[in-house]
Amino acid sequence: MEIFSQINDYYNKIFDFIPAQYRVIIAVVVIAVLAISIFKFLRRNFIWIIIVILLLPATWPALKLIWEKIISLASN
């Protein structure tokens, strides 16, 4: 969470140099660019996101077994 506070601090420092009447316009543009970027990312990687969501629960038993094997080898 520290990185978000640093980003927010930099954002506020930059906004101190900008006149008040332009701050809302710039904030809307930044939010729009972020929203468009996230939308493009999700649209481009939609199939991979679905595959990860579907296959992630299936990996839990395998990861649990691997962890148990590592613990048993480490205890010997």
Task: Indicate if the pLDDT at residue 76 is higher than 80.
Answer: no
Q: Residues 33, 35, 41, 44: is their CA dihedral positive or negative? A: negative
Residue among 44, 45, 61 at smallest CA distance from 53: 45
Q: Which range, 9-13, 17-21, 35-39, is most confident?
A: 35-39
Measured CA to CA, the distance from residue 63 to residue 60 in angstroms comes to 5
Binned at pLDDT 50, 70 and 90, residue 32 comes out as very high
**Token pair for residue 48?**
């991979």
Greater pLDDT, 49 or 6: 6
Its pTM stands at 0.53
**Token pair for residue 52?**
């990860």
